[in-house]
Structure 1
Amino acid sequence: MAHILSPDVIARELTRRIVRGELLAGEKLRQDYIAAEFGVSHVPVREALLRLVAKGLAVSQPHRGVQVAPLDPLAQKELKLMRLALEPMTLLHSVPNLTPDQIREADELRHACDRADNIFDWEEYNRAFHAKIYEGCNMPRLAEIVDNLQDVAARYILIHYRNRWRPRIDADHHGIMASIRRRDAKAAAAILDRHLQRLNLAI
C-alpha cells in the first residue's frame, strides 16, 4: 500500500534533479514512474508536477504530459529582469527585521559558500544564503516569487558555470553581510544589485 509523502518533498527532489541536469530539457516526467520511485499514489505526484510547472521548471502539453522545461533565452532574459527588480527590494525590506539568529545563520551559509569545493554544494549554499537574508521581508507572496526565481536561476547558473567553476571567496557576500550587521539596508541592496548585474552578464 502506497504511503503518504508530501508533494513538497517530491517537488523539492525533482527540482534538485532538474537544476543539476539529472533531468534534461524535454524529458518526460511520467507520473507512474515517479509514483513508483517514491512509493506514493499519483495524487501527490500530480501536485508536485503542478508546482514545477508553476515555477517554470516544467511544462504541461496536451496529449504529451509534463516535461522538463526547455532552456529558453527569452525566459532567461525575463528571469534576469525579475531578479534585478525584486531581490534588492526584498533585501531592502528584510534587513531591518532580521534577528540576530538569522544574521548568524546567514553568515554561516556565507562561510559554507566560501568553503565549498564543488559547484553543486556551492549552489545549494548560495541559494540558502540568499533565502536566509530575505527571511525578514515579511511579505509571503514576494518571498514565494523570489524563491521560485532562485530555483529557476540555479538551473541556468549551473549550466553556465559547470565546467569553469572554481572555489572562491565571494566579496559581494561579505559586503552584504557587513551591511546587514550595520543594519544598512540600502548599502546591502546596492551590493546585491551589483552582484546580480555581474551574474547576469555572465549568464
Structure 2
Amino acid sequence: MTSQRSDLREQPALSASQPIYEGLRNDILSGKLTPGAPLRQDDIARQHGVSKMPVREALMKLEADGYVLFRKNRGAIVREVSVAELLNLMDIRIALECKALELAIPNQVAADHEQAGRLLDDYASHRSSAQWSEMNRAFHHMLYEPCGNPQLLEMITDIQRRIGPATRLLVSETSGLERPDREHREILRACIEGDVARGVDLLKAHITTTRKEIAAQFRRRG
C-alpha cells in the first residue's frame, strides 16, 4: 500500500517534467540555449507554472541524455561538446553515413540527383558559414533519404543533434567552401553513375578530411 502511494506521488512530477524536458531539449538543439548557458530551476519553474520538483526531474533526464551538466554548488548548464567527443562523433558519422549512402545509391532516381545538384549550385553562391552549415546538412540528408532505413536515418539525425548547431557551424568555418563543394560534386557524380563503391569511398574521405581539419584546429588552439 505504501509503495502504491509512493508511485502515485511520483507520477504527477514525472508527467509534469516531460514538457519541460522536451522544451529545454528543443531549445538546446535549435541553438536557442547555447553551450554553457545556465539553467536556473527557479526561472524555469516560474515560466512553466510548476514547482521545482518537475524541473529538477527534467534537468536530471537531460543530464542522463548528455545535454546538461550539473556543477557542484553552481547548478545546471547546457553541456558543451568536448573535442574528444566531437571527434568520436565524427567517427560514428563515417560509419553510419557511409552505410546509408551504400543503401541509398541503388534507390536514387534522377529527381533526387537534380534536387541535390540545385542545392549545390545555391550552396556555392553563399558566403555565410551558417548557410553553408545548414545546406551541407540538407545535401547529405538528400543523398541518404532513399536508403529505405528510417532507423538508420534517425541515428544520423541524432548524431547531428548531439554535435549541435554551434559545433556544426565550427565545422563549416573550419572546412570553408571550396573543398566541401568540390567533394560534394564528386560524390553526387558517383551517385548519378550508380557507382556505390566510389560514392562510399568519396564520402568516407570527405568526412575523414573534415575530422582531421577539426583536430588540427584544436591542436593549434592548444
Residues 1:173 and 2:184 are matched in the alignment: yes
Question: How has the CA–CA distance of structure 1 residues 50 and 187 changed in structure 2, closer, same or farther, with 3 Å as cutoff?
Answer: farther
1:199 deviates by 0.2
Following the alignment from structure 1 to structure 2, what is the Cα–Cα distance between the partners of residues 158 and 193?
20
Structure 1 counterpart of 2:146, from 132, 136, 158:
136
Q: Any idea what the Cα deviations from partners look like across 1:51-110, whole Å, max 9, x if unmatched?
A: 8974x4x22649977632223133123212211211111111111112333222222222
Following the alignment from structure 1 to structure 2, what is the Cα–Cα distance between the partners of residues 191 and 34?
46
Matched to 2:188, the amino acid is M
1:192 deviates by 0.3
Following the alignment from structure 1 to structure 2, what is the Cα–Cα distance between the partners of residues 90 and 159?
24
Question: How has the CA–CA distance of structure 1 residues 179 and 71 changed in structure 2, closer, same or farther, with 3 Å as cutoff?
Answer: same
Please tell me whether Structure 1 or Structure 2 has the larger radius of gyration of its CA atoms: 2
Match of 1:89 in 2: 99
Supply the RMSD in Å over aligned alpha carbons: 3.6
Question: How has the CA–CA distance of structure 1 residues 8 and 71 changed in structure 2, closer, same or farther, with 3 Å as cutoff?
Answer: closer
Residues 1:193 and 2:196 are matched in the alignment: no
1:15 deviates by 2.0
Residues 1:111 and 2:125 are matched in the alignment: no
Question: How has the CA–CA distance of structure 1 residues 12 and 107 changed in structure 2, closer, same or farther, with 3 Å as cutoff?
Answer: farther
Matched to 1:59, the amino acid is V
1:131 deviates by 1.0
Match of 1:16 in 2: 30
**2:140 match: secondary structure:** helix
Match of 1:146 in 2: 156
Structure 2 counterpart of 1:158, from 162, 165, 169:
169
Match of 2:132 in 1: 122
* TM-score between the two structures when normalised by the length of structure 2: 0.66
Structure 2 counterpart of 1:183, from 162, 184, 194:
194
Question: How has the CA–CA distance of structure 1 residues 181 and 23 changed in structure 2, closer, same or farther, with 3 Å as cutoff?
Answer: same
Between 1:110-119 and 1:175-184, the stretch displaced more is: 110-119
Write 1 or 2 for the structure with the bigger share of helix.
Answer: 2
Following the alignment from structure 2 to structure 1, what is the Cα–Cα distance between the partners of residues 172 and 213?
9
Structure 2 counterpart of 1:59, from 68, 71, 86:
68
Following the alignment from structure 1 to structure 2, what is the Cα–Cα distance between the partners of residues 98 and 52?
39
1:35 deviates by 9.5
Match of 1:79 in 2: 89
Identical aligned residues as a percent = 24
